[in-house]
Structures are given as structure tokens and as C-alpha cells.
Amino acid sequence: MKLGFISLGCPKNLVDGEVMLGLARDAGHEITADAASADVIVVNTCAFIDTAKEESIEAILEMAGRKREGSCKRLVVTGCLAERYREQLRAEIPEIDVVLGTGEVPDITRAIDGTAPVPAPVKLFRSFNALAGGRPDSGTRNPGTPDGGNAPSAIPGPTYLYDATTPRMLTTPAHYAYVKVAEGCDYTCAFCIIPTLRGQYRSRDESSIVEEARALAARGVRELLLISQDTTFFGIDRGERGGLARLLRRLNDVPDLRWIRLLYLYPTTITDDVLDAMAECEKVCNYIDLPLQHASADVLRRMRRPGNGDAYRRLLARIRARIPAVTLRTTFIVGFPGETEQDFAELCAFVREIEFDHVGVFTYSHEEGTRAHTMEDDVPPSVKQARRDQLLQLQKRIVAARQKARVGESCHVMVDGPSPESELVMTGRLEGQAPDIDSIVFFDEVDPSTLSPGDLVAAQVTGARGYDLVATVKT
């Protein structure tokens, strides 16, 4: 079969897609980038917020049109939207042949071949109260377990977890790759549907991750991006204290790797041993991606998130004390139910004071199946958008001042390749810039033929272009 594949959503979903592609390739199917020539099309979907669901539905409908026109024989839908709306998708879009949820990744070859069974009808959602069975009504983890984590739940859910032996076809540029260190989530954040879609938190085996890292490095990968729903909780679900710090030290010894980047950390699970490992391991980027979501104690309490603005200030001060050159990225949600002007002003003051290097801002999405859906969505859409715009403008001013101060700074830049604007302009990233989500570096006065993706070059910052930087290669 000729297989066309569309993957949407976060890097965690991207890894699932790469595993499905690897399984399909090893089964003898041909992967094509031309959907018009594909015999089978797979749409790997996202369902985190409304905009993601809309993008996924649009992609499915477009591919359903290709099937009606006769250029596609089978249409398979996978991922979070499939996990969440299995029955509705099959009922509303009859062109779909197979729907695979997040725990059915290994079934992709049978779905392509047409031998995957059609699942028996099931309820779209267990009620959220049933989903949270055995979990507390306050706080974020069950304090009854030794590590503060949730006790195992009897509620069934996805359990799939890939390992180092699983076939995988990278879709990122050849010099970097995402590695999923765990799957699922035990938190009960009021706004989030992920535990429903992905199951309980389950760490991969440490040696399996190291084995995968070695194989990726041997294929030319120079930067590993470690991901999960809470990367700092790695190993704790298995009763392994200090697991992430040990993993970082082992990965630091993998030959040919240049950078190891941590994404999706959590405020209550960043321990001193992790910070020490980051500071001591030369390949581990001094980069912390820490989604805080808000700074108002009242909003955080309703979100079922730990801490408050003062607790976060202490945490960030501790991080900066242990890793002075750290780059800090965070994300916030504005317009959560009950968010007042005073709450938002507190958030703005917090951002102004901390001066994060990178900030992402989402408007609250009122998602069914979450605890927040039982609250009144009382912040008007126009106010949500205005608050988002205001916070981003504040961050833009902070970044402009910080970028201007970097002119003249010596640095190392990972070469990514030509700019989309011109093949004559090469781009790259600093240690404090993650691919796709952060700003980039444009190389000035350099012959593109002298640089290759994955090169780590010494450079000097010569200017700023909005969020991005301009640099020259040192000779």
C-alpha cells in the first residue's frame, strides 16, 4: 500500500505518529508525502482544546473528500480525537474505515491492511467522577501514596508504551528527535482532558530510553528532546526516586549527542538532584520548560494546580541560583472561569517581575469531560482574547529589552538549515531555544555551503529581529 500520513498536535502525538510510520514501513508499506496518490490515509489527531479539535476535523473531512473522489481506498483516524470521539467520528463521517485510540498504536498495520476489527460500541466518556474514582476532590495527587502520587485506579484506560525495540520513522529534521520518557498523566488539573485520553502515568524503563538514545545518535541525531506530561515525575510511579537525574547522567555519556533538552516539567516535582544534574552535565541544556498556568492563588486553586505566585517566585529563584545561565519558558491560561481583572493584573505583575525568556499564552477552552466544564464559562471570549493580547504585548517588550542586551554575546548555535524565506539564509538555535516553539537565530554573512544541519558552531550575536537573533559565525 501507498500510505499518506498527517500528524497533528503536540510532540507526544508526533512520536506516536513516528512509531505508526515505522510499523507500517517495516510491514512493507510505502510512505508517500503526496496524499493524492495514497491508497491509505492516516490522520493522527489532537483533541486538547477547541482549535485543535477543529483542525483535526478539517483534516479528516479533507481526506474523506479524497476517498469519495476515489484516490484513497481506506481512511484511518488515530490519536486523541479518535480516543475521545470514537463513536461520533464513525457515525458522522462514514468515509472513516477504522478509528484507533491512543492505546491502539500497534494496531496500525491491521488498520492499513483492513484486518483490524471494528470495535464494539462503547460510551464516549466515562463520567468524570467515575474517571476520577479513588482520586481526591482537592489537591493534585493522592497523598495516601508514599510519593504523593495517585493510587492505581481500577478505571481501564490506554496502557500502551513504546520501547527501544519499537520501529520508528523520524519526521523531524535528521539532527533532532523527541523521546517520550513516559506516557499518561495522574494529575487532576481542572482544565485538562489528557488523563482521560492517555491513561495513568507510566514511565519507560531507563535502560530502554538510553538504548533508544544511542540508536538515534548513531543515526545522526544530535539533540534529544525528552517529553512526557510531567517529565520530572519520571520513575516516581515505579518507586524510583531520583530517576530523572540518573537518566540525564546516563544520556550525557551517549557519544555524538550534543544537546539534551527537557520539556514539560512540573512545579512540584523539580528536585535539587534534577537541577544539579542539569548544571553538571555539559550536554543537558540549561533550559527549563515549566508550564505554570497562572500566578493568582485563587485561579490556581480552581484550576487544581499547586502553589501560588509567591511559591513560584521561590521556586524560580532556587532554579536561577543553581543554574545561573538558565533559560525559562512557561505557559499561561487566561480567561479561566472566575478569573477577575485583579487576578489577571496579578499575573501580569508576575510576568513583569520574573522576566521569562519565553512565554506562551492560551485562552481558556471550556472542554467537556473536565472538572472545569461544571463551572460557568463566565469570561467573555472578547475579554479572554484581550487579556491574551495584553500579556503577549507585555512579554514582547520584555523580550525586546533582553534581546538587545545580548548583542555582542558569544554563544554556540545548533544549525537547523536554510530559512523558509530564502535558501541563502541559514538558521539555527541557541541552547535556550527549542525547535518549533521558541525564537531562532539567523546567520549573517555566512556561506550556506559551509554549514550543515546538526553542526554546533561558535558564534557572536550581532543584532535582534523581533523575537529572533542575528549572529555571525566565529572564525
Residues 49-66: tens digit of each pLDDT: 888 999 999 999 999 999
- Which residues lie closer than 8 Å to 196 by C-beta, 6 or more apart? 83, 84, 125, 126, 128, 131, 157, 369
Tens-digit pLDDT profile for residues 78-109: 999 999 998 899 899 999 999 999 999 999 99
Tens-digit pLDDT profile for residues 242-266: 999 999 999 999 999 999 999 999 9
Average pLDDT over residues 268-272: 92
Q: What is the pLDDT of residue 222?
A: 98
CA dist., res. 252 & res. 277, Å (int): 10
Instruction: Tell whether the model's pLDDT for residue 194 goes beyond 50.
Output: yes
Average pLDDT over residues 117-137: 35
Q: What is the pLDDT of residue 434?
A: 97
**Grid cell at residue 316:** 524560580
**Grid cell at residue 193:** 482532558
Residue linked to cell 482549535: 51
Average pLDDT over residues 325-349: 97
Q: What is the pLDDT of residue 147?
A: 32
Tens-digit pLDDT profile for residues 23-45: 999 999 999 998 889 999 999 99
Mean residue pLDDT of the chain comes to 90
Q: What is the pLDDT of residue 420?
A: 85
Instruction: Tell whether the model's pLDDT for residue 321 goes beyond 80.
Output: yes
Tens-digit pLDDT profile for residues 383-412: 999 999 999 999 999 999 999 999 999 999
CA dist., res. 249 & res. 214, Å (int): 14
The secondary structure of the chain, three-state, reads CEEEEEECCCHHHHHHHHHHHHHHHHCCCEEECCHHHCCEEEEEECCCCHHHHHHHHHHHHHHHHHHHCCCCCEEEEEEHHHHHCHHHHHHHCCCCCEEECCCCHHHHHHHHHCCCCCCCCCCCCCCHHHHCCCCCCCCCCCCCCCCCCCCCCCCCCCCCCCCCCCCCCCCCCCCEEEEECEECCCCCCCCCCHHHHHCCCEECCHHHHHHHHHHHHHCCCCEEEEECCCHHHCCHHHCCCCHHHHHHHHHHCCCCCCEEEECCCCHHHCCHHHHHHHHHCCCEEEEEECCCECCCHHHHHHHCCCCCHHHHHHHHHHHHHHCCCCEEEEEEEECCCCCCHHHHHHHHHHHHHHCCCEEEEEECCCCCCCHHHHCCCCCCHHHHHHHHHHHHHHHHHHHHHHHHHCCCCEEEEEEEEEECCEEEEEEEECCCCCCCCCCCEEECCCCHHHCCCCCEEEEEEEEEECCEEEEEECC
Instruction: Tell whether the model's pLDDT for residue 150 goes beyond 70.
Output: no
Q: pLDDT-based confidence at 156, cuts 50/70/90? A: low
Q: What is the pLDDT of residue 475?
A: 80
Instruction: Tell whether the model's pLDDT for residue 131 goes beyond 50.
Output: no
Q: How many CB atoms lie within 10 A of CB 428?
A: 26
Q: pTM of the full predicted structure?
A: 0.90
Q: At what angle do helices 272-280 and 309-322 cross, to 10 degrees?
A: 30
Q: pLDDT-based confidence at 71, cuts 50/70/90? A: confident
Average pLDDT over residues 440-447: 92
Q: What is the pLDDT of residue 152?
A: 31
Tens-digit pLDDT profile for residues 111-122: 999 886 655 443
Report yes or no: 24 and 112 within 8 Å, Cβ to Cβ. Answer: yes
CA dist., res. 79 & res. 105, Å (int): 8
Q: What is the pLDDT of residue 153?
A: 33
Q: What is the pLDDT of residue 117?
A: 61
Report yes or no: 264 and 229 within 8 Å, Cβ to Cβ. Answer: yes
Q: pLDDT-based confidence at 148, cuts 50/70/90? A: very low
Q: What is the pLDDT of residue 62?
A: 94
CA distances from 97 to 43, 64, 81, 90 (A): 12, 10, 15, 8
Instruction: Tell whether the model's pLDDT for residue 142 goes beyond 70.
Output: no
CA dist., res. 257 & res. 67, Å (int): 43
Domains defined along the chain, listed by start: 2-113 (3.40.50.12160), 130-405 (3.80.30.20), 410-473 (2.40.50.140)
Q: What is the pLDDT of residue 145?
A: 29
Q: What percent of the chain has pLDDT over 70?
A: 91
Q: What is the pLDDT of residue 114?
A: 87
Residue linked to cell 545561573: 324
Tell me which residue of 206, 212, 209, 133 sits closest to 167, measured CA to CA.
212
Tell me which residue of 410, 360, 392, 367 sits closest to 190, measured CA to CA.
367
Instruction: Tell whether the model's pLDDT for residue 416 goes beyond 50.
Output: yes
Q: pLDDT-based confidence at 125, cuts 50/70/90? A: very low
Report yes or no: 77 and 99 within 8 Å, Cβ to Cβ. Answer: yes
Amino acid, single-letter form, for residue 177: A
Q: What percent of the chain has pLDDT over 90?
A: 81
Question: Which of the pair, 347 or 52, is modelled with greater confidence?
Answer: 347
- Phi and psi at 17, nearest 5°, equal -65, -40
Question: Which of the pair, 288 or 153, is modelled with greater confidence?
Answer: 288
Question: Which of the pair, 249 or 130, is modelled with greater confidence?
Answer: 249
Average pLDDT over residues 191-208: 94
Tell me which residue of 375, 328, 373, 331 sits closest to 355, measured CA to CA.
328
Residue linked to cell 521561590: 314
